[in-house]
A and B are shown apart, each in its own frame.
Chain A
Amino acid sequence: MATIDDVGLSMYREMVRGQAAEQWILRLIDGGEALVLYHSARGQEGVAVGSIAPLRRSDYMFYVHRGVGQLLAKGIDPVELFGDVLANTAGSTRGLGAGIVHVVDPSVGVLGQSGTVGGTFPLAAGAALSAKYRDSGQVVLCMFGDGTANRGTFHESANAAGAWKLPVVWLCENNGYAVSVPQSASTPVADLATRAAGYGMPGVIVDGQDAIAVYEAVDTAVRRAREGEGPTFIEAKTVRFRGHFEGDPQSYRGDADTAALERDPITLLADRLIEAGLATDASLAALAAEADREMERAVDVARAAPVPDRSRLFEGILA
């Protein structure tokens, strides 16, 4: 098992890359350049980065709409990401997308995202079935929120994955809210991971603010999957620092959330790196500055690309 010594700094770097990218996206929205609805990942970086770090480039990943950090960590080119945000031909979808919703790159295992949340569960089972069929050793990471966990698609997919011992990791980013509805109002159990027993797989609860803990849980699940022992359900308890989308007034949020907002996964990892003698405030600040410069360069390149013409509407419907 890798430790903070091995993966801590690279995970920190991915965290600040994700954060820098998000800040640039918000600037593009504020400046009127990007006409997109954006779902901030702020507060959930521990899950994003901790879950991608154990994966190989060839492993598959189905992300979530709050997924800027995991997309970059998996290997999506920032220029393509910003091209999608700007809805121009630099994007991974060559101008078809707008935002980070359908960012795709099969060469790094990013197989896309479903517009209907929870639509990726059966696809993830199918990709895992495919990996097993081809004996490729690939693992599928399927991310979803606590609200999405209530879709029926999850039941059918988890059941088949359990029955067939498919190499898939179901990773629930539980931030406590499905848009505005708190988990307690929609879900009969406090811990979604308890559902795993019904599908014959381990159910693991992990502190999503602790990137190293997420790394360890996902790494264990990935090894298990690669060795043919089947799926794992991981529930990472996390906190959404901003609204469901930018502009969400969050009137539904209670006072109890205030304390949770103080556990910032970026600060927590920084403190541990410094305690372990692996970094200093200055070295971490340098990583953040470099990430910001990288994203600024990517934004500049993406900005130079043209928007597509009408013909783009009719391309890519059929092979």
Chain B
Amino acid sequence: MRELTFTQAINEALVEEMERDSSVFVMGEDVAAFGGVFGVTKGLHETFGDRRVFDTPLSETLIVGAAVGAAITGLRPVAELQYSDFLGIAMDEMYNKAAKWKFMHGGRLNVPMVVRAPEGAKGGAGAEHSQSPGGLFQSAFGMYVLMPTNPADAKGLLKSAIRDDNPVLFLEHKALYSKRGPVPDGEHLVPIGVAATPRRGDDVTIVAWGNLVPRSLQAADALADEGIDVEVIDPRGIRPLDIDTILASVEKTGRLVLVHEAPGAGGPGAEVAAVVADRMIDVLEAPVLRVTTPDTYFPQSVHLERLMLPGVTEIADAVRKVMR
């Protein structure tokens, strides 16, 4: 199987969906000739022209709100926010318009749109350019929040997102953009709302999101040498959450460690911990642990930023703790 970077995989998904469906278009700040600040939309403008790939004013409210307006009138916009932190600027458009317009109006209007937004810390971008805001949307019942963790999922999930009739927030971790991985040839779709289990194991369940999935797999490899058999589940997003896969794994292992870059408070792990406690407290053989960034903000200093991010050591330590 050929290997692509995460960036190439997303770009390929955009190209294929634009070729397939003339109602798909791309808009955002610097996405046209410049190719996007992270280079994801490179070449699209050359291929598809001004009509289908265009730069917007520096107006996040407009970008997300106009995507809603275009979606309810028959198009399939793929809007890019330069950083997922900017969702806060367009919160009304995302949380109240994209997620609720269908419901509020009796179910009579579909909102088939995707907002792509890079998330996560990489390289000292500071407190307002490094966050993982997916957890903010756990109560956005009318939209999906997807978080691919490898190039194959990035391509397959984005293609599914563009074809879906619901609004999708598509979070791409900046540290993953340059990572390479196998991507199937030809049509490749990954269904929305189905967790991946990239590693099977019997002793402990790790549920990890985003950039911490690869680190959790590394930790699992290290723990295998100590005789601890770890199962790693990648929910591929926050909404919809494939809770059945998680519950089945915890039923088997009796131990759960939740790993994500968002802070513990308001992060996706909090909801999973609560559901597991509610549904199978009698199965648990140890307290549920979370490995997250601490309750502070990302500094601009790269040195301090490194100290914020959970590493393989922290993840492995948490697993050893639940095994005691």
Residues of A near any B CB (own CB < 8 A): 60, 91-97, 102, 104-106, 111-112, 114-116, 119, 121-131, 133-134, 152-153, 156-157, 159-160, 163, 315-319
Residue B184 lies at the interface, judged by CB distance under 8 Å to chain A: no
Query: Is A316 a contact partner of B74 (Cβ separation < 8 A)?
Result: no
Q: How far is the CB of A93 from chain B (nearest CB, A)?
A: 3
CA gap between A119 and B92 in the complex, in Å: 8
The reply to whether B93 and A122 form a contact with Cβ atoms under 8 Å apart is yes
What are 17 contact pairs spanning A and B, CB under 8 A? A91-B106, A95-B106, A96-B103, A96-B106, A102-B106, A106-B108, A111-B69, A114-B97, A115-B96, A116-B96, A122-B93, A125-B66, A126-B65, A129-B66, A129-B69, A130-B75, A316-B108
User: Which one of B61, B106, B108 lies within 8 Å of A156 (CB-CB)?
Assistant: B61
Tell me the bound Cα distance from A130 to B77 in angstroms: 9
Interface contacts beyond A124-B69, A127-B70: sample of 19 additional A-B pairs, CB < 8 Å, sorted by A: A91-B106, A92-B106, A96-B104, A97-B106, A104-B105, A104-B108, A111-B73, A112-B104, A119-B65, A122-B97, A123-B69, A126-B77, A129-B70, A133-B51, A160-B56, A316-B105, A317-B102, A319-B111, A319-B164
Kindly report which residue of chain A lies nearest to residue B98, judged by CB atoms.
A123
Contact between A119 and B106, CB atoms less than 8 A apart: no
> Which residues of B are found within 8 Å of A131, using beta-carbon distances?
73
**Nearest A residue to B96, CB-CB:** A116
Please pick, from B68, B74, B102, B106, the residue contacting A318 in the complex, using a CB distance under 8 A.
Answer: B102
| Chain B neighbourhood of A116, CB < 8 A | 92, 96
B66 close to A123 (CB less than 8 A): yes
Q: Is the CB of A122 within 8 A of B61?
A: yes
Residues of A within 8 A of B141 (CB): 317-318
Instruction: Tell me the chain B residues, 68-86 only, with Cβ under 8 Å from chain A.
Output: 68-75, 77
Q: Are the CB atoms of A112 and B67 closer together than 8 Å?
A: no
B75 touches which of A134, A157, A319 (Cβ 8 Å): A134
Q: Decide: B70 and A130 in contact? CB cutoff 8 A.
A: yes
By a CB distance below 8 angstroms, the chain B residues around A124 are 69
Q: Is the CB–CB distance between A157 and B65 below 8 Å?
A: yes
Scoring B residues 90 to 116 as 1 if CB is less than 8 Å from chain A, else 0, what string do you get? 001100110001111111111110000
CB of B177 closer than 8 Å to a CB of A:
no
Q: Does B33 contact A (CB under 8 A)?
A: no
> Which residues in A have their C-beta under 8 angstroms from that of B104?
93, 96-97, 102, 112, 115
B66 and A112 contact, CB distance less than 8 A:
no
Complex alpha-carbon distance, A319 and B240, angstroms: 13
Q: How far is the CA of A150 from the CA of B93 in the complex (A)?
A: 17
B251 contacts chain A at the CB level, 8 A cutoff: no
Q: CB-nearest residue of chain A relative to B109?
A: A106
Cβ of B237 under 8 Å from chain A: no
* Contact B70–A112 (Cβ < 8 Å): no
Q: How far is the CB of B94 from chain A (nearest CB, A)?
A: 11
Q: Inside 8 A of B25's CB, which chain A residues have their CB?
A: 133
Residue among A112, A114, A123, A133 with most chain B CB within 10 A: A123
Cα–Cα distance between A47 and B128 once the two chains are bound (Å): 44
Residues of A contacting B103 with CB < 8 Å?
Answer: 96, 316-317
A316 to B57, CA, bound (A): 33
B59 on interface, CB distance cutoff 8 Å: yes
Contacting residues, chain B, for A114 (C-beta < 8 A): 96-97
Determine whether the beta carbon of A111 is less than 8 Å from that of B110. Answer: no
Known: A126-B70, A317-B142, A319-B165. Contact between A133 and B75, CB under 8 A? Answer: yes
CB contacts (< 8 Å) of B96 on chain A: these are 114-116, 119
Bound complex: CA A163 to CA B54 (Å): 12
Q: Which of B225-239 contact A (CB under 8 A)?
A: none
Q: Which of A130, A159, A318 has the most CB of B within 10 A?
A: A318
A95 contacts across to B, CB distance below 8 A: 106
Contact B68 A125 (CB under 8 A): no
B residues in contact with A163, CB < 8 Å: 57
* Contact of A112 (CB < 8 Å), options: B57, B105, B110: B105
Tell me which of A93, A163, A319 has the highest count of chain B C-beta atoms within 10 A of its own C-beta: A319
Top 5 nearest A-B pairs by Cβ distance? A126-B69, A122-B65, A316-B107, A93-B106, A126-B66
Q: Which residue of B lies closest to A166 (CB)?
A: B66
Q: How far is the CB of A317 from chain B (nearest CB, A)?
A: 5
> A125 near B65 (CB under 8 angstroms)?
yes
- A122 in contact with B73 (CB, 8 Å): no
The interface centre, meaning the residue of A131, A133, A163 with most chain B CB atoms within 10 A of its CB, is A133
CA gap between A122 and B66 in the complex, in Å? 5
A97 (CB) vs chain B CBs: closest residue: B106
A318 touches B61 (CB 8 A): no
- Which residue of chain B is the closest to A104 with respect to CB atoms? B105
B64 touches A315 (CB 8 A): no
Q: Which residues of A contact B73 (CB under 8 A)?
A: 60, 111, 126-127, 130-131
